[in-house]
Amino acid sequence: MDRIQRVNNRYQQLMQQADSPHEWAYAWRTEINRGGFRAVDFLMQTVVDAGKCIGCASCVTICPVDVFDYTDEQPIDTRTDACVQCVLCADVCPILRPPDQDLPQQLNFREPKTQESYGPYSYGQYVRATSGDIQQASQDGGLVSALLIHGLETGTLGGAVLGDVVDGNRQIGEPRLATDRESVLACAGSRYTYSPNLIALQQAVRENISPIAVVGVPCQVDGTRLQQHSGIRLELANWYRKNISLVIGLFCSEAFTHESINQLAQILEVDPLSIANINIKGKVVVRMDNGDVHGVSLKKYREFARPACLYCLDYGAENADIAAGGIGLDGWTYTLVRTERGHQALQAALADGWLETRPLSDEPRGEMLMKKLSADKKKNRPLPAQMPSLAERQALNYLDPKTFYTKGPGAPSEES
């Protein structure tokens, strides 16, 4: 048996035996070190080749010797021979392990800690930007863009790691380090395809721009936290720990494939390049450049969800400082303040008149959806390492991440 297979077997064994999955990290780190081989090989075989990679890019941005390139939502170990066997790439991969048990202390979740199925938070509100240009550019209430611009203009932030749009297709995202109002507004709004925002961390490190805010979907929030709080205290992990001062998470049921945009345009018989914005509000709402608005059933569109999103159990960005979504009141951002840092950023923008708020009780459906969508995402799902690989799911002819463990082959049988 080769070494990777041996470590993988041991890893699987530990997962089945451990009382808490948070303990695995210590055990398998030791295994990897003892194995005397490169963690990158273990990562590529167990996560990437198995089709379990969610594309967060954390392995790419933590590697101190630039082993990886990133393409088609996955890392490629282009320069494997440069590997210095530091184990960081495997240590920060959200698929290989959940964050360590002491992460809540490190993040300083704010009192009172309401412990919900969607992670601890201190308070929740509907929030909207007061400035017309921010409101207009944004997906929902513009909370995210307003907080960033406020931070940049008052000096609490030096830059923000965001998702921009690629030239020629506004529904496809690409990473961007934004440092002023104009660049934040260029990135505002949501792309429902995957945007590897974290890659912009490399530019922040290179240019030593700080303090940094990171905006991302929950897998990217976890990737950021694992990089900041890795037990392997090498220079890059230390840089992220010291200089990332605010992490804003976006609620996320799933992201969609690039191909989904063409499929959506085909269903609607429109030009995909004329789609100005897509929003998901129970159904898929598509706004065109000429002002037309179309609706498509979410069930239909969901056929084009990224298969990799099966390996994700987090809807509410549970480890963010502030988590934000579009459920509830139209034109407002459903906002959860989780940590002390999140509280300070929100209160500073409120005090300066950049934001207005309404209580969640103004539209109670938001809270109801929050509970339901978070619960749905965890229902019957084991941790990623115990889920079938993409090839195994292809053999079952069932790739829908949303229903695999509720209605698909992973659902409990009638008798159980």
Position 221 contacts ligand FAD (CB under 6 A): no
Q: Give the integer Cα–Cα distance in Å for 195 and 197.
A: 6
Residue placing its CB nearer to ligand SF4 in the complex, 151 or 216: 216
Shortest distance, position 152 Cβ to ligand SF4, whole Å: 25
Stretch that binds ligand SF4, among 9-17, 41-49, 323-331, 385-393 (CB under 6 A): 41-49
Shortest distance, position 199 Cβ to ligand FAD, whole Å: 11
Residue placing its CB nearer to ligand SF4 in the complex, 54 or 275: 54
Radius of gyration of the chain measured on its C-alpha atoms: 21
Give Cα separations from 339 to 137, 196, 209, 342 (angstroms): 27, 24, 23, 5
Integer distance in angstroms from the first to the last C-alpha of the chain?
36
Binding-site size, ligand FAD (CB under 6 A): 32
**Distinct helix (H) and strand (E) counts, the chain:** 17, 15
Q: Give the integer Cα–Cα distance in Å for 218 and 118.
A: 11
Position 56 contacts ligand SF4 (CB under 6 A): yes
Position 275 contacts ligand SF4 (CB under 6 A): no
47-50: list long-range contacts, CB under 8 Å, 24+ apart. 47/93, 47/95, 47/96, 48/74, 48/75, 50/389, 50/390, 50/391
Q: Which does 327 bind (CB under 5 to 8 A by kind): ligand FAD, ligand SF4, none?
A: ligand FAD
Position 94 contacts ligand FAD (CB under 6 A): no
How do strand 74-76 and strand 322-325 relate by DSSP bridges? unpaired
Q: Which does 144 bind (CB under 5 to 8 A by kind): ligand SF4, ligand FAD, none?
A: ligand FAD
Q: Which of residues 153-172 bind ligand FAD (CB under 6 A)?
A: 162-163
What does the per-residue mask of binding to ligand SF4 show for 175-194, with x meaning CB under 6 A? Answer: -------------------x
CA trace torsion 389, 394, 397, 402 (10° rounding): 50
Q: Which does 141 bind (CB under 5 to 8 A by kind): ligand FAD, ligand SF4, none?
A: ligand FAD
Q: Give the integer Cα–Cα distance in Å for 223 and 58.
A: 5
What does the per-residue mask of binding to ligand SF4 show for 121-160, with x meaning CB under 6 A? Answer: ----------------------------------------
**Using an 8 Å Cβ cutoff, are 190 and 250 in contact?**
yes
Q: Which of residues 7-46 bind ligand FAD (CB under 6 A)?
A: none
Q: Which does 355 bind (CB under 5 to 8 A by kind): ligand SF4, ligand FAD, none?
A: none
Residue placing its CB nearer to ligand FAD in the complex, 11 or 121: 121
Position 54 contacts ligand SF4 (CB under 6 A): yes
Q: Give the integer Cα–Cα distance in Å for 168 and 174.
A: 12
- Alpha helices for 257-339 (secondary structure H): 259-268, 298-301
What does the per-residue mask of binding to ligand SF4 show for 206-225, with x meaning CB under 6 A? Answer: -----------xxx---x--
Residue placing its CB nearer to ligand FAD in the complex, 183 or 230: 183
Residue placing its CB nearer to ligand SF4 in the complex, 134 or 317: 317
Position 323 contacts ligand SF4 (CB under 6 A): no
- Residues written for the chain: 416
**Using an 8 Å Cβ cutoff, are 303 and 296 in contact?**
no
Structure tokens at 336: 């959860």
DSSP E strand stretches across 317-390: 322-325, 333-337, 355-359
Residues that bind ligand FAD (CB under 6 A): 138-145, 162-163, 173, 187-192, 195, 197, 215-217, 250-253, 255, 324-327, 333
Residues that bind ligand SF4 (CB under 6 A): 43, 47-48, 53-59, 75, 92-95, 194, 217-219, 223, 252, 254-255, 309, 312
